[in-house]
Chain A
Amino acid sequence: MDRVKVATVWLGGCSGCHMSFLDMDEFLIDLAEKIQVVYSPIADMKEFPESVDVTLVEGSVANEDHVELCHKIRAASRVVISFGDCAVTGNVPAMRNPLGDPEKILQLVYVDRADTHPIAPKEAGIVPKLVDRVRPVHEEIDVDYFIPGCPPSSSRIKEALTNLLEMGETHLTGENLRFG
């Protein structure tokens, strides 16, 4: 049997969900027999593959690179899963939203708070422009399943993946849905 092609990506988040993924520990070894990681920040593939079975998206949509990557993911993935609270709700990165214009925040951090050489990062093609409003992934693309949590515990991730691999779908219920 072909292994299920899995991608994990990471947008505006802290990597905690990926860490929680790794916290499945020795189950990862079992998992390696069933899945093939075809794209991930912990692997070296540089381009998102053209066809993926399942993509786990950690993080919120916070800059224009994320927007572009989201659409690429949706176009290439059979199943897209919002992975963790940032992807599901916007969570902590979205705390900047009530402050309004991100340019003002950049000004504070890089110009006002610099001891020397104050300049707000802007180089085109290098540092992506921030979107006005950080948003959850499903506001940008259609999302099939949601794994909330900050981060979702490894047992929650395990359950979601097991369901998906065994039954082809993964609607979490009960305590497994708790945000935060």
Chain B
Amino acid sequence: MDSNELMEIKEAQIASAKPIRLRCCLAAGCLYSEGEAIKEALENALEEEGLTDQVEVLGVGCMGLCSEGPLVQVDPDGILYEKVKPSDARSIVAALKGGKATAKIGDLSHPFFTKQVPVVLENSGKVDPERIETYIARDGYQALNTVINELHPSQVVEEVTKSGLRGRGGAGYRTGLKWELVAKTPGDRKYVVCNADEGDPGAFMDRSVLESDPHRVLEGMAIAAYAVGANQGYIYVRGEYPLCIKRLQIAIRQARNLGLLGSAVFDTSFNFRVDLRIGAGAFVCGEETALMASIEGRRGTPRPRPPFPAESGLWNSPTLINNVETYANIPLIIRKGAAWFSSMGTERSKGTKVFSLAGKVKHTGLIEVPMGTPLRVIVNEMAGGAPDGGKVKAVYTGGLSGGCIPAEKLDTPVDYESLVQIGAIMGSGGMIVMDETDNMVDLAHFFMEFCVDESCGKCVPCRAGTVQIYRLLDRILNGMGEDGDIAKLQELSEMVKSCSLCGLGQSAPNPVVSTLRYYRNEYIECIHKNPKRNGNKNAVKAAK
């Protein structure tokens, strides 16, 4: 494979495309709601109508608006059909010839679509994730080609540094700096790892990216490997995402067959092998040291840092770990340049961010917006606010490690610093919207149940502390709370946060701390419901 061959594939693919394409979403949400059957019905309908010469059906990745799925979009005229049933297929095909489709037509002028700036998602819903050619047709692997053939590794690192890209996994560490560290650390063997163990409740960005555009991530990883001097990569992907696994397996095979991965990439001396490692149901493995333990075939328990993976990672070798979305940004940064990338976003948070919207909003699904977009725009405009005439009460961002943002603070721009300032975090991009009917104690209880279940058990604060926090919340929620419980919750939370070994434990109390910060009254109300409260120990003492 060389650059010419790459161009040939691209041109051949463009040339083979039929004038009209029905893009049929086959990402998980739509797939589970009969996506395959719809695709088949459309193909049958085209056959019946004798339109197979001019129209083709493409199975594509996520188009974002999951709540209205299954989705079918007509290319090039752009009509979006929502909540499609297989029985709609015939009328959709008929509509190509001027008929009227029975399926609901989506409003593409809605802010949900118009306010998006697709960078990571530029190919989502457009390429067929199971066909590498469709990716190459949209300039796929050109960045890798450029990097390998035209740039010195240090230049690649520099470009990434200049772009201002920060880790999309949650903490927002500067990606360029991390790359530089790994590149500089001496070692015969280095590794590049993609953290695709997206486990935060309510987050499904990475799943979507991998299901929709897996090559983009592979390309990003290959560029990283070249930049830091690694020859082996691992993608650690959740076992709960069988579709991702399948599509990644196909993608890796296809890329290897074309010489875009494996030995002698682009016919150079650069070798880069990528293997999949399938998670087995442990949230903590999203933590990088636990993830590495798991890749090494051990119990996925974290270890103290330092040493950081960049110095001593997989099998004690320097290891670069980035998450899916971070890698997915790389090809475009190379292709369009650091300057282009850093022109988007805010002073300290560059580029765009993908968010998954869930909870009490009209439109749930996946969006990508420039950093700095106010939450209000995302929640009220793009997601359409609360459904059924409800009122948005709060937004929970950052998954487990994040926090809740009350409606009054919706003008906060989404960038790393602003969110931290109000007690939330960017996190990986899960956004759960709560309305007035939601009880925040219940939310904290839900998150804490999750933490208890997912704590690895190695360090005491997280293992035993989360259990006690959960018991307190459970007691409060069930109307058995006592007056001292809130203070106890706070004290425990502070200790678990300060003393836990890894990020999971350190952030486990966040849901409690953050809901207590803004919704303390809901806790107090719950406690006041305790029928025995007047007879409880504190009340009795006070009455003395």
Given a CB threshold of 8 Å, the question of whether A touches B is answered with yes
Q: Which of A's residues lie within 8 Å of B, judged by CB?
A: 71, 74-75, 138, 140-142
Give 6 CB contacts A-B under 8 Å. A74-B537, A74-B541, A74-B544, A75-B543, A138-B537, A140-B537
* B535 A142 Cβ-Cβ under 8 A: no
Closest residue to A140 on the B side, CB-wise?
B537
3 closest Cβ contacts across the A-B interface? Answer: A141-B537, A142-B541, A142-B537
Q: Mark B533-544, 1 if CB is under 8 A from A, else 0.
A: 001011011011
User: Min CB distance, A118 to chain B, in Å?
Assistant: 35
Do B544 and A75 have beta carbons less than 8 Å apart? yes
- What per-residue 1/0 map shows which CB atoms of B247-260 lie under 8 Å from chain A? 00000000000000
> Nearest A residue to B540 by beta-carbon distance?
A74
Binary contact track B237-274/A, C-beta < 8 Å → 1, others 0 = 00000000000000000000000000000000000000
Question: A138 contacts which chain B residues (CB < 8 A)?
Answer: 537
Chain A nearest CB from B409 CB (Å) reads 38
Contact with A along B505-536 (1 / 0, CB 8 A): 00000000000000000000000000000010
Q: List the B side residues contacting A141 at CB < 8 Å.
A: 537, 540-541
B544: chain A residues at CB < 8 Å are: 74-75
Question: Contact between B537 and A75 (Cβ–Cβ < 8 Å)?
Answer: no
Interfacial chain A residues near B540, Cβ < 8 Å: 71, 74-75, 141-142
Query: CA–CA, A140 to B535, complex, Å?
Result: 10
Residues of B within 8 A of A142 (CB): 537-538, 540-541
Once bound together, how far apart are the Cα atoms of A141 and B541, in whole Å? 8
Give Cα distance in the complex from A126 to B535, angstroms: 24
From residue B316, how far is it (CB to closest CB) to chain A in Å? 42
Within 8 Å CB of B537, what residues of A? 74, 138, 140-142
Nearest-CB distance from A112 to chain B (Å)?
A: 33
A75 CB to closest chain B CB (Å) equals: 6
Question: A142 CA to B484 CA in the complex, in Å?
Answer: 11
Q: Across the interface, which residues of A come within 8 angstroms of B543, CB to CB?
A: 75
Give the chain B neighbours of A140 by CB distance below 8 A.
537
A141 to B544, CA, bound (A): 13
A-contacting residues, B50-99, CB 8 Å? none
Q: How far is the CA of A67 from the CA of B59 in the complex (A)?
A: 67
Which of chain B's residues have a CB closer than 8 A to the CB of A74? 537, 540-541, 544
How close is A45's CB to chain B, nearest CB, in angstroms? 21
Separation of A121 and B537 alpha carbons in the complex (Å): 30
CA distance A71 to B537 in the complex (A): 8
Closest Cβ–Cβ distance, residue B536 to chain A (whole Å):
9
Question: Chain A's nearest CB lies how many Å from the CB of B542?
Answer: 9
Nearest residue, chain B, Cβ from A72: B540
CB distance from B256 to the nearest CB of A (A): 55
A140 to B537 CA separation, bound complex (whole angstroms):
6
Q: What distance in Å separates the Cβ of A95 from its nearest Cβ neighbour in chain B?
A: 20
Q: Which residue of A lies closest to B538 (CB)?
A: A142
Roughly how many angstroms separate A140 CA and B541 CA in the complex, as a whole number? 12
Chain B residues contacting A75 (CB-CB under 8 Å) are: 540, 543-544
In the complex, A71→B532 CA distance in Å?
12
Set of chain A residues within 8 Å of B541, measured between Cβ atoms:
74, 141-142
A178 to B541: give the CA distance in the assembly, Å: 28
Extra pairs beyond A141-B537, A141-B541 (5, CB < 8 Å)? A74-B537, A74-B541, A74-B544, A138-B537, A142-B541
Is A71 touching B535 in the complex (CB atoms < 8 A)?
yes
Residue of B nearest to A78 (CB): B544
Rounded to whole angstroms, the CA-CA distance of A114 and B540 in the bound complex is: 42
Q: Which A residues are in CB contact (< 8 Å) with B535?
A: 71
Query: What is the CB-to-nearest-CB distance from B478 to chain A, in angstroms, rounded to a whole number?
Result: 15
CB distance from A107 to the nearest CB of B (A): 28
Closest to B543 in A: A75
Q: Closest B-chain residue to A80, C-beta based?
A: B541
Residue of B nearest to A138 (CB): B537
Complex CA–CA separation, A141 to B538 (angstroms): 7
In whole Å, how far is A143's beta carbon from the nearest beta carbon of chain B?
9
